[in-house]
Amino acid sequence: MLIRLKNKDTLIVDNFTFKCCIGKNGIKSKKIEGDYSTPRGLFSLDKIYYRPDRVKKPITKLPLKKISKNLGWCNDVRSKLYNSEITTQLNLKHEKLFRKSNNYDYFLVINYNIKKIPFKGSAIFIHLTKNYKPTEGCIALDKKDFLILVKIINKKTKIKIN
């Protein structure tokens, strides 16, 4: 199964079409950390994270992880933990996963820069949005569409961003 990004504002999976938003600076082949762009390419998907204090466990064939208060995603280019899940007690630059906003109540990890090459970009997810404003590089969907998406995809699903 393939998820395709079409026209920078539409995700297509099988017979489903979802409105989405992407990075503020569009799609780039040579993404770098903090450039507000969504990386171009074909990527596998990893696990789905969710906030059990706010939302129900999603119905999916993908692995799940509960988001706790001390969970983060390392964006410290000097660390060997760059572009991976960490606990926020570590003294590293990171993105908080337990947020006041609802954007990360659910999110799906896109396996971008899995070799953890410094400055190539980190924390590329499919997450939630309520207003479809451009992201910092992720793809965002509304909650209803996200839950449909994760229900129909599986471990072999890839996403093509071009």
pLDDT tens for 101-124 read 999 999 999 999 999 999 999 999
Residue listed under structure tokens 């961003």: 161
- Residue 116: predicted pLDDT: 96
The one-letter amino acid at 146: F
- Residue 90: predicted pLDDT: 85
44-to-14, 69, 148 alpha-carbon distances in Å? 17, 27, 18
- Residue 7: predicted pLDDT: 85
- Residue 127: predicted pLDDT: 98
pTM score above 0.75: yes
- Residue 91: predicted pLDDT: 86
- Residue 26: predicted pLDDT: 97
- Residue 23: predicted pLDDT: 98
Low-confidence residues in the chain, pLDDT < 70: none
